[in-house]
Amino acid sequence: MSETIILLEQVNKHYQKINALQDIDLRLEAGEVLGLFGHNGAGKTTMMKLILGIIKVSAGNISVFGLDPLDKQAWASRKKIGYLPENVSFYDQLSGTEVLTYFARLKSAPKNQIVELLEKVGLADAKDRAAKTYSKGMRQRLGLAQAFLGNPKLLLLDEPTVGLDPSATQEFYSSVDQLKSSGASIILCSHVLPGVEQHIDRAMILSAGKSAAIGSLQDLRDAAQLPVSIKTKGINGALKNNAQLAGFMVAHNHLLVPESQKVQIIRQLMEFENISDIQVEAASLEHIYQHYLADNKRSIEQESKL
């Protein structure tokens, strides 16, 4: 039986007249990666601050490693948490090595990790330079190294790939996969959706402080009844001459078909003698995200009319 690392039950957070979060339910298990998505102001950073115990819930219950994050006993468990804020800042006069040494002491992390992590994030050559000389991308990589200190059992990553080049981004996701395989739980908040989906187990989409959707990508696709994209080569326009297939056409040699009819349509396409290639793609994370945001917006508009 897996261990519940984070539990949110009907969590609300209000700032005067602003409802930052409303009736949020979430259970995150050990070794699970959750992608947290939403527009600016949707409540993503507020949720992370609640989990960290930086701010207090207005209503509802929250527990991290079985304890209220604001409980005095929860302070010890913070050493098991790695956090990367959206806007990374350090003491400018400290070098990269000194920054990680400082955080290693706070988290009681082994010092031999410092050299290893600096190499892993590509800062080995800049380890003795002052942080004020680092570019935005270098600061982001130093922030990642800080978050990975101590082999955390819970990682909260707010826009972790901002400022990273493709190589560094790939290395970051490799680290996420390694931590997941070791049993760590991860909440990954990002606006950069391409490349994220193969690294998460579930997605949670926030809109105006409410949960618009939560579940595995396949569950969300099924619930939304999003179509499958099928592109062909070699048929040379013959699709439009097939009465059944023509109904699914959205462009030359491009079909959008319901998931339930995918296999049937593929079989039909394979009967074309001249077909040379076929590409099948389920709805991407971007499509899922846009669908649920639009659906939530419609619900809000309907409620306002009542």
Q: Assess contact for 200 and 35: CB atoms under 8 A.
A: yes
Mean pLDDT of the chain: 90
Superfamily of domain 4-92+137-221: P-loop containing nucleotide triphosphate hydrolases (3.40.50.300)
Q: What is the mean pLDDT of residues 168-189?
A: 89
Reply yes or no on whether the pLDDT at 129 is more than 90: yes
- The pLDDT tens digits of the residues spanning 192-228 come to 788 898 899 999 999 999 999 999 999 999 899 999 9
Residue 1 is predicted with a pLDDT of 59
CA distances from 299 to 180, 207, 214, 305 (A): 36, 11, 17, 10
pLDDT for residue 306 is more than 70: no
Per-residue pLDDT band at 305 (split at 50, 70, 90): low
Per-residue tokens: 67:
């304890």
* Residue 235 confidence class, pLDDT cut points 50, 70, 90: confident
**pLDDT tens digit sequence for 148-160:** 998 899 999 998 8
Mean pLDDT of 261-289: 92
Q: What is the mean pLDDT of residues 92-115?
A: 92
Q: Is 129 exposed, middle or buried (0-12, 13-18, 19+ CB in 10 A)?
A: middle
Instruction: Work out the percent of the chain whose per-residue pLDDT is above 70.
Output: 97
Question: For the chain, which residues make up each domain, given as ranges?
Answer: 4-92+137-221, 227-281
Chain-centre distance for alpha carbon 13: 21
Angle at 155 between CA 150 and CA 156, to 5 degrees: 135
